[in-house]
Amino acid sequence: MGRPRFKNLVSAVAVAAALGVAGAAVPAAAATLNMAWSQDATGLDPHKQTAFSSLRLLELVYEPLVRTDSELNIAPAIATSWEFSEDGRTLTFKLDPDAKFSNGDKVMPADVKASFERILNEETGASARANFLSIESIDTPDDGTVVFNLSQPDVPLLTAMSSINAAIVPASAIEAGTIGTETLGSGPFVLTSWEPNSREVLAANANWAGGEVGVDGINISVLPDETAILAALRTNQVDFALINDPLVATLVPNNPGLTLTREPVLNYHVLQLNADRGAMTEKKVRQAISCAIDRQDVLDAALLGEGKVTGPLTMPAYATDPSELFCYTPDLEKAKALMAEAGYEDGFSAKVMAATGEPPTAAAEAQVIQSQLGEIGIDLEIEMMELNVYIDRWLKGDFDMAVALNGGRTDPYTMYNRYWTKDGNLAHVAHYGDDTLDSLMQDGRVETDPAKRKEIFAEFSRHITEVSPWIWLYTGYSYTAANDKVSGFEANPTGSLFGLSAVTVSE
Amino acid sequence: MNYLTRRLVTFPVVMLGVSVLVFVSIRLVPGDAITAMLGTEAGLLTPAQRASLETYFGMDQSWFGQYWHWLGGVLHGNLGISVTYGRPVMEVILRVFPLTLELALLSMVVALAVGLPAGIYAATHAEKPSDLIVRIVAMVGQSTPSFVVALLAIYALSVWFGVLPAMGTFTPLWQDPLKNLAQMILPALTLGFAFAAAVTRISRSAMLDILSDDYIRTARAKGVPARSVIWHHALPNALIPVVTVSGVEFGYLLGGAVIVEQVFALPGLGRTVLEAILQRDYALVQGSVLFIAFNFMIVNLLVDLAYAALDPRIRLGGK
């Protein structure tokens, strides 16, 4: 728990104060941050792990070429600059000459090339591979340049490269096959020990090119029960914590000395309808469901109002005003009329599936939706199941309706091409597709003018909410809680904890 | 020791049964290691990608092939590699087991120290108000779920006294005994509470039975002092059911008290198995369950041997 260090610090402060040295009264001496979260990483291979819980840890250890800043702009990481060619078919990166792995080895273009070749290799099983298929070849003309040659213009590629799933790992580690068992990254921290489901110890990486890290290290405790995390915060055993459950988060401000940070996230809560099944094959029935659901009411009842009603696009640069979308103002009369027009004036029965505890509010959401759809005669049965069982059925597309929390992306194409293009990998889960959606997605992919892209995706939002294969509900917040000793944390809408690199702990 | 040899022979048979059962049941649960790792992103894998991950997780072989391969390893003392930890299963188990063992031992100490005297007291004060109180407390103790006790304890300590056991970062006993005990005492009391209640009830009823036996009446008639009758004549015989109950409870505790470990954030065997199941870490689940079954059988064997020691009339070998 860093006790000796704490004593040293106290004595250093005491000595400085005794000597009356001006300016030394508040030493910038780094300390260790004690932190807690409830879900631990499930593995260490940045190219294979996709769970939020794993990415949060790996983002502190590894770096991609570029990263997403707190305004959702692309910012430098290993690369200091990047440029698309005129025809949009080559993407050139200049690497930071100071970028080093934590063992002191320079990050070379060969490492970048090897990392992307590993992701593109089908044998790796990297799920992000689908985002990089336009890469035809990679050139490394000199020690500081990497050139990606593309088969077609691919604007969202840059966003995909900002994910930790595109982290740059040492070519030597790929060859040795140690990725996944040992960590060697170029990020702000070094993982010195990992005891799964118990704790992680991170030390500041002295070789980090991104600047000085504000703390000596981070001790992360895995406390599976979030009320225990709150208790640990109150008793100052933990300085900083990540909280998932909005119910626990809302209790934090009741405690003097604790601050809650809410950050709107890109992830969205959605009710997915199976447009291949029963009454829901009728557009009018799906529209009726959309009109019958009072999104704000679900948000208030299930999530204590902790969030914002959203359309399909959750990133601020592309989001449109939800009130302009189809039936975002609930209209029960219209819903009933639509049901009658479709020949279902007496309603029908269906099942909605939800994962236990993922998100923590899933059961509550399903219940509110159940009662709202009851108003138009839809008799909804709730099926709660363990997350892995849920995912298994979800991936097979085997459900009538599903309550889901889906991950958002900073680019609309990367976020939705898997669902709403005809050859998208998850098109069978989306259970709906039409030519309009398909061509809008393709147009948005190759369009380089930001203003025109925005128009294309606004049209996408309007169209998809009108045909209503899914009922987009709202986005929530990510929560961090900290005591007064902690300062300098900047939250990120992607849920990344990279902001911990700037945190300082005072005593 | 005819009995002992017979027990030792049945040992591997039972273990084999357990291993088959757990092997099949974990595979019957929907969802596999790949979806557990990738979540919904698993839907983005191409067939070739999936095939290569299946090879990596050893899921490309038939169940029988997988089992045969695993069993071969087990017979050579190799329980396989945990895919989430990236380490040998045995190493993972041995790292978390000391905590569970310590927790189980502490709980038993609590249970016997509280339960046995309480049970004897109640039996010797049968049908008096004090007996009634002990019985009510025991009833409450046995019927309250351990997580309720745990949460109440945490709540009381953190809210009223502002102290809390250091959670999450477990300190082994040999590193810092005081800190270790500070972490373990609450969970041990929590588990010991229900355990003590069981011991109280069983020792009370066993004692009552025996106190009405002829030889006790004879001893009393002979003028043996009341205290001696209880401690020397009755207690050894009353201990037999107590040993049985304690043995079974202890055996369960060695499998890890999942909920209490979860609430107190103790990285013990129970939580490890739970996480392994959620992650579909097949090798770790199989290895841990086998390990738990092994412990359970050893404890049962020791309990049976303890009978013989307590009561010479019980000859384990038979004629």
Q: For A290-346, what is each residue's pLDDT tens digit?
A: 999 999 999 999 988 999 999 999 999 899 899 999 999 999 999 999 999 999 999
Quote the pLDDT of residue B56: 81
Look at the block and give the residue holding tokens 């269906």. A350
Q: State whether A349 and A459 are in the same domain.
A: yes
**Residues 138-167, chain B, touching A (beta carbon < 8 A):** 151, 154, 158, 162-164, 166-167
Residue A106 lies in a domain: yes
**What is the set of domains in chain B, with CATH numbers?**
3-89 (no CATH), 90-316 (1.10.3720.10)
Cβ pair B272:A48 closer than 8 A: no
| pLDDT, average across residues A471-483 | 95
Q: For chain B, how many residues are written?
A: 319
The answer to whether B37 contacts chain A (CB < 8 Å) is yes
CA B121, CA A88: separation in Å to the nearest integer? 87
Quote the pLDDT of residue B142: 84
Residue A227 lies in a domain: no
Distance from chain centroid for Cα A360:
16
Quote the pLDDT of residue B217: 83
Q: Token pair for residue B197? A: 């209640």
Residue A1 lies in a domain: no
Tell me the pLDDT band of B44, cut-offs 50, 70 and 90. confident
Look at the block and give the residue holding tokens 């580690």. A173
In three-state form (DSSP H/G/I as H, E/B as E, the rest C), the secondary structure along A316-372 is CCCCCCHHHCCCCCCCHHHHHHHHHHCCCCCCEEEEEEEECCCCCCHHHHHHHHHHH
- Considering only the beta carbons, identify the residue of A50, A181, A235 that sits closest to B163: A235
Quote the pLDDT of residue B315: 60
How far is CA A165 from each of CA A9, A86, A129, B29, B205, rounded to the nearest angstrom? 38, 28, 9, 29, 63
Quote the pLDDT of residue B317: 52
Question: How far A96 CA sits from the closest chain B CA (Å)?
Answer: 31
**Residues 1-20, chain B, touching A (beta carbon < 8 A):** none
Give the DSSP letter string of A12-73: HHHHHHHHT-TT-SS-----EEEEEESS--S-S-TTT--SHHHHHHHTTT---SEEE-TTS-
Q: State whether A165 and A301 are in the same domain.
A: no
Question: How far B268 CA sits from the closest chain A CA (Å)?
Answer: 9
- Considering only the beta carbons, identify the residue of B154, B265, B272 that sits closest to A224: B265
| pLDDT, average across residues B9-36 | 87
* pLDDT at residue B157 tops 90: no
Cβ pair A125:B262 closer than 8 A: no
Quote the pLDDT of residue A227: 82
Residue A494 lies in a domain: no
Q: Is residue A263 classed exposed, middle or buried when 0-12, 13-18 and 19+ CB atoms within 10 A define those classes?
A: middle
Quote the pLDDT of residue B166: 55
CA A42, CA A57: separation in Å to the nearest integer? 10
Please compute, for residue A501, the number of CA atoms within 13 A of its CA located in the half-sphere on the CB side.
24
* pLDDT at residue A7 tops 50: no
Q: Domain holding A134: CATH number?
A: 3.90.76.10
Cβ pair B278:A386 closer than 8 A: yes
CB atoms within 10 A of CB B156: 10
Q: What angle do CA A387, A388, A393 make, to 5 degrees?
A: 100
Q: Domain holding A408: CATH number?
A: 3.10.105.10
pTM of the full predicted structure? 0.81
Residue A454 lies in a domain: yes
Residue A191 lies in a domain: no
Q: Are A8 and A482 in contact (CB under 8 A)?
A: no
Cβ pair A196:B275 closer than 8 A: yes
Choosing among B34, B167, B183, B280, which should be mutated to test the A contact, i.e. which has the most A CBs within 10 A?
B167
N-terminal to C-terminal alpha carbon distance within chain B: 12
CB atoms within 10 A of CB A86: 7
Cβ pair B167:A387 closer than 8 A: no
Q: Which domain holds residue A146?
A: 63-176
The answer to whether B265 contacts chain A (CB < 8 Å) is yes
Residue A10 lies in a domain: no
Cis ω for the linkage preceding A359 (within 30 of 0): yes
How far is CA A134 from each of CA A90, A123, A131, A157, rounded to the nearest angstrom? 10, 18, 8, 8
Tell me the pLDDT band of B55, cut-offs 50, 70 and 90. confident
Which residues have CB under 8 Å from A414's CB, separation 6+? A131, A156, A159, A160
Q: What angle do CA B97, B101, B106 make, to 5 degrees?
A: 150
Q: Token pair for residue A83? A: 């440029």
Q: Residue A82: which of A147, A141, A8, A15 has the closest Cα? A: A147
Q: State whether A156 and A292 are in the same domain.
A: no
pLDDT digits (tens, 9 = 90+) for A177-205: 889 888 999 999 999 998 887 889 999 99
Name every chain B residue with its beta carbon within 8 A of the beta carbon of A50: 37-39, 41
- Bigger pLDDT: B288 or A2? B288
At which of A143, A159, A176 does a domain end? A176
B129-134 CB contacts, 8 Å cutoff, 24+ apart: B131/B204, B134/B200, B134/B204
Quote the pLDDT of residue A102: 95
Distance from chain centroid for Cα A193:
25
Question: How far B242 CA sits from the closest chain A CA (Å)?
Answer: 35
In three-state form (DSSP H/G/I as H, E/B as E, the rest C), the secondary structure along A357-383 is CCCCCHHHHHHHHHHHHHCCCEEEEEE
The answer to whether B258 contacts chain A (CB < 8 Å) is no
Residue A4 lies in a domain: no
Q: Token pair for residue B132? A: 């009634």
Structural domain tally of chain A?
A: 2
Tell me the pLDDT band of B314, cut-offs 50, 70 and 90. low
CB atoms within 10 A of CB B249: 20
Cβ pair B279:A42 closer than 8 A: yes
Cβ pair B37:A42 closer than 8 A: yes
Catalogue the E-assigned strands of A188-343: 189-195, 199-204, 217-222, 240-243, 258-273, 308-309
| pLDDT, average across residues A374-391 | 93
Tell me the pLDDT band of A22, cut-offs 50, 70 and 90. very low
CA A309, CA A303: separation in Å to the nearest integer? 12
Q: Where are the alpha helices (DSSP H) in A224-282?
A: 226-234, 246-249
* Closest A-chain CA to B277: A388
* Closest A-chain CA to B32: A388
- Considering only the beta carbons, identify the residue of B29, B44, B163 that sits closest to A425: B44
Give the type of residue at A268. Answer: Y
* pLDDT at residue A24 tops 70: no
Which residues have CB under 8 Å from B76's CB, separation 6+? none
ipTM: 0.73
* pLDDT at residue A468 tops 90: yes
Q: Residue A436: which of A412, A451, A456 has the closest Cα? A: A456
Q: State whether A297 and A148 are in the same domain.
A: no
How far is CA B157 from each of CA A34, A195, A234, B143, rounded to the nearest angstrom? 21, 27, 12, 23
